Amino acid sequence: MTDKEKLYLRIFSTVMIFAGIFLFLFPETLQESTSSMSVDEQIDLKIRYSAIPIAIGIFCTIIVRFSGESTTYKLLLALLTLDFGYFVTRLIALAVYDFESEIQFVWLIIEIIIASVLLYGLKLKKAPSKA
């Protein structure tokens, strides 16, 4: 990867992260929200449009370091960053709403389990073969 490509990737990742943060703070720009929404619906609205751009931005930031790895390793890393994007946005949204949603808290625990499995898969894929 050339220096110019790395620069474009950094710019793209920065734009994606800022877009995700903007959509997290102002989800009304894409979907109208009402004041009668429950806490679960409000958290879901914040997560719906912001988690994926944040995850793509994080992935584009770190993929340069793993350019020599296999495609499977990069795929597991992409899934891990996607899960991390959802984890971060859900955790921040829960903190904003004082951890009032039990369903969102259960989803947070599920995302921790998914991240653990993906990290274990990355560890297995990175380990040298015993052949």
Q: What pLDDT digit, counting tens, does each position of 66-82 carry? A: 888 888 889 999 999 99
Locus of tokens 């995700």: 20
Token pair, residue 53, equals 């751009």
Q: CA 112: distance to chain centroid?
A: 12
Tell me the pLDDT of the chain averaged across its residues: 89
Domain assignment of residue 11, yes or no:
yes
Percentage with pLDDT > 90 across the chain = 53
Domain assignment of residue 131, yes or no:
no
pLDDT in tens, 23-50: 999 988 888 877 788 888 888 988 988 9
CB 89, CB 107: distance < 8 Å: no
Domain assignment of residue 115, yes or no:
yes
Q: Which of 53, 45, 71 is nearest to 17 (CA)?
A: 53
Q: What are phi and psi of 130, to 5 degrees?
A: -100, 15
Question: What's the number of domains the chain is made of?
Answer: 1
Per the structure, the complete domain to which residue 14 belongs is given by 3-126
Domain assignment of residue 23, yes or no:
yes
